[in-house]
Amino acid sequence: MARRWAGFGLAVVVVALALTALPALAQEAAKEPTYRSFPLIGSRLAVWAVAQLHLNFAAFIL
């Protein structure tokens, strides 16, 4: 019976350590992404064209 409680206590400690370590590891992943340019027309124009096309399709259907 004591071994079962010891195993349960060890599992609780391991889970607690994992839950405290994971946020620290997640902070390293939050780096600034590189801004990529869209070939030929540029990123802003590409986003505008996709949004405009989406609006045109929505207006046609509705």
Model pLDDT for residues 8-56, shown as the tens digit of each residue: 888 889 988 888 888 877 777 667 777 778 888 888 999 999 999 999 9
- The three-class DSSP label of residue 24 is helix
Token pair of 35, please? Answer: 């801004």
pTM for this prediction: 0.42
Contacts of 36 (CB under 8 A, 6+ apart): 43
Is the pLDDT higher at 31 or at 58? 58
Q: What is the pLDDT of residue 5?
A: 80
Q: What is the pLDDT of residue 29?
A: 61
Token pair of 58, please? Answer: 């929505």
Q: What is the pLDDT of residue 30?
A: 61
